[in-house]
Amino acid sequence: MRLLLIVQDPRYRTLLRHHISCEWPEAQVDHRSATREAHPIPPEYLAQGYDVVILDEDWLGGKGLAWLRDLANRRGFAPIVFLANETDSRAAREARLCGAFGVMVRGRFSNQSLIAVLDEAARMQQRARADWRISPAAEASRRFGPVRIPGYRCVRRLAGGSASQLYLAESEKAGALMVVKVTPSVRDEEGVDQAFERFLQEYEIAHRLHHSSIVRCHELGVADDHAYLAMDYYPDGDLRKRIRAGISPADSLELAAQVAGALVALHGAGALHRDLKPGNVLMRGAHRVVLTDFGLAKHAAITADMTDPGVIFGTPHYMSPEQGHGEPVDGRSDLYSLGVILHEMLAGEKPFTDASPMAIIYKHRHHPVPRLPPSVAQWQEITDTLLAKRPEDRYPTAAQAESVLREAAGRARAAAAA
């Protein structure tokens, strides 16, 4: 038995868990939270991995009934048991009409009646899942471009390039929306699958760190001559979107400090990112970031060297001078990339641009660090240090950069509040 609770009151969630565990000791019971404005369930989500969803009327802003209407109208959504405040209330009557599998009244049901409704709903869901799995629609939903991935329902394609494609998917096993990255298997002359090796490295790095500012990778697999990687989905987009909307100096410094904190964990695990850019910094809400995409990372514990000496990998706008010239790099190269991001957040534009990638790489090494606008010029020393041409002139560690950035963010917040 697997249930999803959309219930505001934590004490009532505890009571429901008690009722459920008395009948099904091994049951998995998850819950979703919401703010006053936000819907607790993303619009693409069908809760197909759950047997029953329990939805409370008594939610922030009194939106439980409106959420029921939405969820019940999603074709294929799991059965919903609605918790109404009163037996003869308008909400209870409408809940029955608009698709709730069952309606229970808070505080007025017995353990036996709750268990009976949940058991009936779960049996209906299991029959529906069995019918769905052998249907043509289910087969089509498992297609990610040319690849069929069991256990995932493809919602839509998010982005892609020459190396890989990103899809939004619902994982039945995890009961959540995820990003699935898919790339064709490419074997070198020695028979090594380079695509899988890169995904294996990305999975190992993200999976072992368990850091709040580093994306979680849940599954690595191979299907139809492709490798795939499933990871957490963040619907708020990436730092590029936030930069386009404009960021205050205090928020710019704070977000940069969070990225530096993620680099502390990454470097501490013996890895370098090597492709740090706003597109690889995901937003978790308005004020938190999550670092992702370790496909170009270097890990000291992994012996397979997947890049040849002198070969350039990364994004030219955010490359350190040494990386852009195919020279050896260390953690200070990631700090240079962080400096480019910080300059872009503060100034609203990248420090070095040109029509060709090689011209940009040349500027990183030979052109002076651009001046920030007068309104944020007080942070020039920080960007100068991060963007120093020589690694030895930058902050020696990500931890020191994080400390400087957090102190600066505090000063910027104090100045804004004054």
In the predicted structure, residue 305 carries a pLDDT above the cut 60: no
Q: What are phi and psi of 192, to 5 degrees?
A: -85, 130
Report how far residue 45's alpha carbon sits from residue 169's, in angstroms, rounded to the nearest whole number. Answer: 9
Asked if residue 114 has pLDDT above 60, the reply is yes
- CB hemisphere CA count around 124 (13 angstroms): 16
Q: Which of 95, 101, 33 shows the shortest CA–CA distance to 69?
A: 95
Q: Which amino acid is at 37?
A: E
165, pLDDT greater than 60? yes
Q: What phi-psi label fits residue 233: left (phi over 0), alpha (psi between -120 and 50 degrees) or beta? A: beta
In eight-state DSSP terms, residue 292 is -
Q: Is the pLDDT of residue 366 over 80?
A: yes
Report how far residue 117's alpha carbon sits from residue 197's, in angstroms, rounded to the nearest whole number: 48
- 299 pLDDT above the threshold of 70: no
Ranked by mean pLDDT, which of 138-142, 205-209, 339-343 comes out on top? 339-343
Tokens of 31: 């819950």
Cα(297)–Cα(317) distance, integer angstroms:
17
Residue 113 pLDDT class (50, 70, 90 cuts): very high
Q: Region 330-340: what's the mean pLDDT?
A: 97
Separation between Cα atoms, residue 249 and residue 383, nearest integer Å: 13
Is 275 among the catalytic positions?
yes
For the chain, the distance separating the N- and C-terminal CA atoms, rounded to the nearest angstrom, is 55
Residue type, 306: M
Location of structure tokens 């599954």: 219
Catalytic residue among 275, 308, 330, 334: 275
pLDDT confidence bin for 29, thresholds 50/70/90: very high
Could you tell me the pTM of the whole model?
A: 0.83
Side-by-side strand order, sheet with 102-105: 28-31, 2-6, 52-56, 80-84, 102-105
In 3-state terms the chain splits into helix, strand, coil percentages (rounded to 5) of 45, 20, 40
Q: Over the chain, what is the mean pLDDT?
A: 88
At residue 20, does pLDDT exceed 90? yes
Look at residue 300 and tell me whether its pLDDT is greater than 70: no
Residues 41, 33: Cα–Cα separation, whole Å:
9
pLDDT surpassing 80 at residue 36 = no
Delineate the domains of the chain, giving CATH numbers in brackets. 2-133 (3.40.50.2300), 143-232 (3.30.200.20), 239-417 (1.10.510.10)
pLDDT over 60 (residue 372): yes
User: How far, rounded to the nearest angstrom, does the alpha carbon of residue 410 sit from its chain's CA centroid?
Assistant: 27
> What is the predicted pLDDT for the residue at 169?
96
pLDDT over 50 (residue 309): no
